[in-house]
Amino acid sequence: MADLRNPILPVADPAYIPIPDDDTTTNLGRRFSTRNYSNKLLSSLFTGLILVGLLLAMGNKKSTHTSIPVEEDKILTQPPMSRGKPLGVSEKSNQQLTMRDYEWNDMMLSWQRTAFHFQPKNNWMNDPNGPLFYKGWYHFFYQYNPNGAVWGDIVWGHAVSKDLIRWTHLPLSMIADQWYDVNGVWTGSATFLVDGKIAMLYTGSTNESVQVQCLAYPANHDDPLLLDWVKYSGNPVLVPPPGIGPKDFRDPTTAWMTSTGKWRFSIGSKIHRKGIALIYDTQDFIHYEQLNVTLHGVQGTGMWECVDFYPVSTTHSDGLDTSANGPDVKHVLKASLDDDRHDYYALGNYQEETGEWVPDNPEIDVGIGIRYDYGVFYASKTFYDPIKKRRVLWGWVGEMDSEAADVKKGWASLQGFPRTVAMDTKTGINLIQWPVEEVESLRLRKQEFKDVELKPGMVAPLDIQFGASQLDIVAEFELQKEVVLNSTTFDEEFSCSESKGAAHRGALGPFGILVLSEESLIEKTPVYFYIVKAKNGTLSTFFCADQSRSSLATDVNKLIYGSYVPTLEGEKYSMRILVDHSIVESFAQGGRTVITSRIYPTKAINENAKLFLFNNATEAGIKTSLQVWQMNSANVPASKSTKGGPKLDIVIFFSLLYLVLNFDQFCDKSLGFHF
């Protein structure tokens, strides 16, 4: 039985020996120190009042670091300053922008804030961390800068929800207050132990910017809100092994149980240009053994960060616990590539005896094959939801505008709407992603359009009786079969990103929907299919989103996204689109291919946002039926404070009341983290 109150160093011979600063070697934060409750010197009521005061104080706690200011009126003649990369994580600034800053007004900027996607009220957010379900609550932790709308001063934000939609923001869960994480409390993952307790492994950036792995755990496992977290006194528990760079060792996965009773997990890294997933075994989350193989690696893919590894069933769509294995199980290995900031995954077989994972098809291996999302979606993390027996995917959706605009509006970044993820049992080669079913609780008024026919070159407005900024759209399209059979356009090479977008006309496409479009179409965002016919008569389907005409603003990336989507014989072309102000998430063929777009219109906002159908094919007509729902706001509660995380709310009040009424019981319980 390990005693976490005594420092225990990793058994492995470290390549890096940390040298603590004199003023950071002690446990500084009240919420992160190991507390002794053996002496009951205060009454329950008095202690409850102290807890209230401390929680309020935490809400106003300031970081010891200062964010780098951004000049809002700066004219861009070169890429913005690099953020994140110099400290050893992926680039966090929009390096592709070299245009003059646009003069955004308050109405445009306020419109960009979403209604039902997760985001704090203020400041910068990036990676999802350690999502989990615990004692009736979904918990979401995230990388957060409490001091500004640009990356820096990273700590962990924390929020809870009953339905993955309506979130209550809680005080910061972990701050950068120790020598081993003073430069950032970076990405981590949660593991449920056999007794139901939680181990949270995360990457800390030390006072020398070395990436190390650290352990934290709830101070009180009886607290359903998990308000207090304790950092293990012997941190760091892992340091970069020999041969691994000090800035190439980050983002531990959720651990899974092996048949021998050991816990196993992976950490992203690289060797030269080969991206790899290191693998470790542990019995107590304090002592670790590095396996002499990697879980997997792919040459030429560069640094792997935010690695995720989980099982999926080959026979049904239910999610599986992370430790599940067996004959009807495939394993998904996913890596976020530091080089291009995209999330790639592959299906394969996990060999527990050796600790290695082998892809089903090496030609679509991790980093060179399929992506979760072909738009703006990165650093994703899944968790198993035992209540609904599903695996849920979170992903960070960054900004595609300028830092100056973000600073002016006071916030940056969203989380993609949570999605279920399962193996596509029809194709056997890809995953299916779909918005969690709870999103349907936000549906309000509905309009339905049946069998709308569009000839080649047509654009048709949809007269919806509500605004077009918050929508859930489900649509099916059929091409004229005789035209498809008789078309003589063969072997066309096509790529969404390298085409002219929706203006690129072919015999059988593009056709789809124009979202967030101004009435005169001076601003529009097409989401569409494009069909290519081969000489043997087979059809290839591409799913694209064209942002090239989405905004008149000059300081916005206007890329064209998309990819091939498997379409089986007899299937109609189907898409679902979630429109939530500046984010558009598009799902093709039941979720086989997904595109997340960030849209920054200057005209197509509020009542001026419209919806259209279009068919820009040269030969084929289409027939479409669609349902359009107006979406309600999730009414995400957030603090007015921008410095210390959201303040006390009614949920915390009742949690504190519970603590006060049961304080005597808590005093008799050990809060040590034993296994």
Confirm whether 22 is a catalytic residue. Answer: no
Helix (H, G, I), strand (E, B) or coil at 596: strand
Q: Which of 399, 494, 512 is nearest to 454 (CA)?
A: 512
8 A C-beta contact, residue 603 and residue 381: no
User: b/e per residue, 475-501, with b = 16+ CB within 10 A?
Assistant: bebbbbeebbeebeeeeeebebeebeb
242: left (phi over 0), alpha (psi -120 to 50) or beta: beta
- Residue 367 is classified by DSSP as T
8 A C-beta contact, residue 181 and residue 20: no
Q: Catalytic residue among 101, 127, 343, 373, which?
A: 127
8 A C-beta contact, residue 244 and residue 280: no
Between CA 608 and CA 220 the distance in angstroms is 51
Between CA 364 and CA 374 the distance in angstroms is 15
Between CA 253 and CA 213 the distance in angstroms is 11
User: Which tokens hold the place of 77?
Assistant: 């003649």
Sign of CA dihedral 498, 502, 508, 513: positive
Between CA 437 and CA 440 the distance in angstroms is 6
Between CA 437 and CA 576 the distance in angstroms is 13
Q: Which of 266, 248, 268, 264 is nearest to 256 (CA)?
A: 264
For residue 236, cis peptide bond before it (omega within 30 degrees of 0): yes
Contacts of 36 (CB under 8 A, 6+ apart): none
Helix (H, G, I), strand (E, B) or coil at 538: coil
CA atoms within 13 A on the CB side of 360: 14
Question: Would you please indicate which residues are annotated as catalytic (active-site) residues?
Answer: 127
